[in-house]
Structure 1
Amino acid sequence: MDQSQIEIRVLSSLDLIPAADWDSCACPEALDGSRPLDPFTTHRFLLALEESGSVGRGTGWQPQYLTAYLDGMLIAAAPMYAKSHSQGEYIFDHSWAHAYESAGGRYYPKLQIAVPFTPATGRRFLTRPGYDGIGMSALVQGAVQLAAENRISSLHATFCTQAEALAGREMGLLDRSSQQFHWLNDDYADFDGFLEALSSRKRKNIRKERARATAFGGEIHTLTGAELRPEHWDVFWEFYQDTGSRKWGSPYLTRQFFDIVHETMTDDVAMVLAERGGYPVAGALNFIGRETLFGRYWGCNEHHPCLHFELCYYRAIDFAIAHGLARVEAGAQGEHKLARGYLPTRTYSLHWIADPGFSDAVAKFLDAEAQAVGEEIEILTDYGPFRKANPEEQQ
């Protein structure tokens, strides 16, 4: 296929792209009405960010949706943003920006292909079936050309898939390795089946934590679909504000975002609420993919021992087992997840840097970083809670 026939367009709003066209590239597996692999690249999720004002003017995330058309048909797209800072990315380049600007360069604005505020792995170069290779190639070339023509310092694609990382490397992009902690479902029949795979000490610790958590004096419910009501979002907004102000200084998402999610995405959501005396005191918000439960936000207005672990990690495992999901991605950071059955997993990103000298320096850094990440994953996995082959190590 002749790539010269492909037309690249940059669009300032997702309203300019029909949902069916975008989703034919973002989640073709869901066009029959089934669940998408990744809810975060769907038209409805990205549009919720835009319409709610969570991205756009004044946020440092200016939509620049990258699209590729062949004979008038959308064959590929990428959620791309012009960034004036490096917040809300979770694969951070703060040190790169500092070094570049210390040397007299201008690092911002930069181009970011990502789902804002969402450290969840998924396709970033969204292609219609049958156009995978040529579609990604057109998007990469289009983004690099756009950056070069506008003298933009760099282009980044974060939390892409391993396949995209390998393909991007072949196209000349720099690939970067990071890590998260994911829980993997080994066809467990129930939570006790999962516990049986752990060493006895870790198994006892988790049972103690669950007992302490459920002794907070109330009840815990997992709500999805029609079970979710507007008042649930009112209280979850309180939780989110509290956590956001402590972690980031100010919340990334607006209140309207949660209202739009209630209108358009309740079937994609599993909210876990702890209620005491009929009033919610803590909550965790998950998004549901075809194979994965994505843990996203947590908050509380009362502090109870181990309730965070119960709502964010153990109830997520319960939900994944009950619904036959293959994994739980519990978000960024947190080595404390290891003791709770979440193992270190490599994540990927791709980068293009305009300045050749700075690009070479970053490439050397990434080689060393990748080796360190691999070693850390190996060490942490060995310290994991699962039973070892040696019977003496099972205690």
Structure 2
Amino acid sequence: MEVKQIDSMAQIDAVAWNRLSGTDYPFLRHEFLSALEQSNAVCTQTGWQPAHLLVMDQQQLLAILPLYLKSHSWGEYVFDHQWAQAYQQHGLAYYPKLVSAIPFTPCQGPRLLCAREVNQASVCTLLLGFIQQVAERRGISSWHCLFPEHAQLDWLQALGVSVREGVQFQWFNRNYLTFSDFLQTLSADKRKMIKRERRRVAEQGIDMLRVPGREVTDAQWQVFFRFYALTYLKRSSEPYLNLAFFKQIARTMPEQLMLVLAVKDDTYVGAALSFIGSDTLYGRYWGCQAEYNALHFEACYYQGVDYCIEHGLARFDSGAQGEHKISRGFEPVTTYSAHWLKDADFAKAVTQFVDREKKALQHYKQDAANYLPFKRT
């Protein structure tokens, strides 16, 4: 086996890549990563330089590790700015660093993709050795693997890297037949709260329209992007993604897209875009023209819950952060990241920090679970 590094998805055949990635997890599809590159959302100028690793046996593709050379820590959702500051205070450079992640996408999923016949432990050792050599040769401080699924923790821990934990809030489908079935599992006050929020959306004259990706019109994509961009502009920042990205995935992977549109007086007033996996709905982007009572909850949460129930999806991953989700039935789950630092002293310090952080997160997760709205049994 040998490792080959590419700096563009155009350098690897889409069929060969997707044979390993599959389509269960939409964000590792060749189409998704290519759209990021071809729209220039991901490039050297934005601080996300593609550097993907391929493990080859002559012409046969055996394994893939998505990889980016980063000159900052934005768009990752695993925050290491304090680590970078500590490096600077000691006269060291934290950037550039290497990151195995899906840009701007804090969704758990596979990171190392291997053919079935491959010994994963051998591939992992080979890849980390390659990364360490590149780091030494190019003055790179570290490698970070963000939001790997739990099933891939074993190979990461076997590499001797520091494993960091985080918390997100996700909704789980316990074989509900209708939204009302879900509500019946909640305490009376939270059940009334959700009913009231959904009712208020209707009382404001707002209708909700759920559009499969194949049926979204060009005009609707224009509307959605305007709303999406507004969420950033309201915070005086620029959106990570552009209209070209959304139009490209609309052409190349529409079957894994679902757009929710809020309509008032024949005018669109809000929108939320989700991605559809094999058993999970991923809520990703949202925006609105003006603020309406409870519209965010309806578009971003309740419509997604409805969709999961109707289509038999097991889980609704509605994105990072958001403690307000707890009272609406979204449960705390542990997320992971793995970190290798070239400098031995900083690696030791980060490991000690991560161990302390884990203990605090365990208490936080338990406290969050105590506020879940489900009936006590």
TM-score of the aligned structures, taking structure 2 as reference length: 0.97
- Whether contact under 8 Å (2:146, 2:337) holds in the other structure is yes
1:56 to 43, 55, 58: 43
> 1:121 Cα deviation (Å)?
0.3
- Whether contact under 8 Å (2:341, 2:347) holds in the other structure is yes
Structure 1 segment 73-112 matched on structure 2, within 5 A: 73-112=60-99
Cross-structure match for 2:9: 14
The answer to whether 1:67 aligns with 2:67 is no
The answer to whether 1:25 aligns with 2:13 is no
The answer to whether 1:309 aligns with 2:297 is yes
User: Aligned letter for 2:166?
Assistant: S
Structure 1 segment 1-395 matched on structure 2, within 5 A: 6-27=1-22, 36-131=23-118, 132-247=120-235, 249-389=237-377
User: Aligned letter for 2:252?
Assistant: T
Task: Provide the rounded CA distance (Å) in 1 between the counterparts of 2:229 and 2:178.
Answer: 34
Task: Provide the rounded CA distance (Å) in 1 between the counterparts of 2:217 and 2:101.
Answer: 30
Task: State percent identity of aligned pairs.
Answer: 41
Task: Provide the rounded CA distance (Å) in 2 between the counterparts of 1:122 and 1:203.
Answer: 32
- Whether contact under 8 Å (1:144, 1:352) holds in the other structure is no
Matched position secondary structure for 1:197: coil
Task: Provide the rounded CA distance (Å) in 2 between the counterparts of 1:231 and 1:22.
Answer: 32
Deviations 1:156-186 (A, max 9, x none): 0100111222321111111110010000110
Task: Provide the rounded CA distance (Å) in 2 between the counterparts of 1:232 and 1:265.
Answer: 17
> 1:247 Cα deviation (Å)?
4.7
> 1:92 Cα deviation (Å)?
1.1
Instruction: Give structure 2 stretches of 5+ with no counterpart.
Output: none
Cross-structure match for 1:30: none
User: Aligned letter for 2:11?
Assistant: L
Task: Provide the rounded CA distance (Å) in 2 between the counterparts of 1:282 and 1:227.
Answer: 18
> RMSD across aligned C-alpha pairs, in angstroms?
1.2
Task: Provide the rounded CA distance (Å) in 1 between the counterparts of 2:117 and 2:330.
Answer: 35
Q: Which moved more, 1:281-290 or 1:127-136?
A: 127-136
> 1:379 Cα deviation (Å)?
1.3
TM-score of the aligned structures, taking structure 1 as reference length: 0.93
Deviations 1:189-218 (A, max 9, x none): 110111111111111111111111222213
Task: Provide the rounded CA distance (Å) in 1 between the counterparts of 2:235 and 2:181.
Answer: 35
Cross-structure match for 1:393: none
Q: Which moved more, 1:125-134 or 1:41-50?
A: 125-134
User: Aligned letter for 1:332?
Assistant: A
Deviations 1:250-296 (A, max 9, x none): 10012210110121121111110001122211011100000100000
- Whether contact under 8 Å (2:214, 2:250) holds in the other structure is no
CA 1:350–1:15 in structure 2 vs 1: closer, same or farther (change >3 Å)?
Answer: same
- Whether contact under 8 Å (1:126, 1:136) holds in the other structure is no
- Whether contact under 8 Å (2:213, 2:259) holds in the other structure is no
Deviations 1:113-160 (A, max 9, x none): 100000000011111223244333433332233223322101001001
Instruction: Give structure 1 stretches of 5+ with no counterpart.
Output: 1-5, 28-35, 390-395
Matched residue count: 376
Matched position secondary structure for 1:364: helix
Matched position secondary structure for 1:237: helix
Task: Provide the rounded CA distance (Å) in 1 between the counterparts of 2:33 and 2:228.
Answer: 19
> 1:248 Cα deviation (Å)?
7.1
Task: Provide the rounded CA distance (Å) in 1 between the counterparts of 2:322 and 2:235.
Answer: 13
> 1:307 Cα deviation (Å)?
0.4
Task: Provide the rounded CA distance (Å) in 1 between the counterparts of 2:233 and 2:114.
Answer: 37
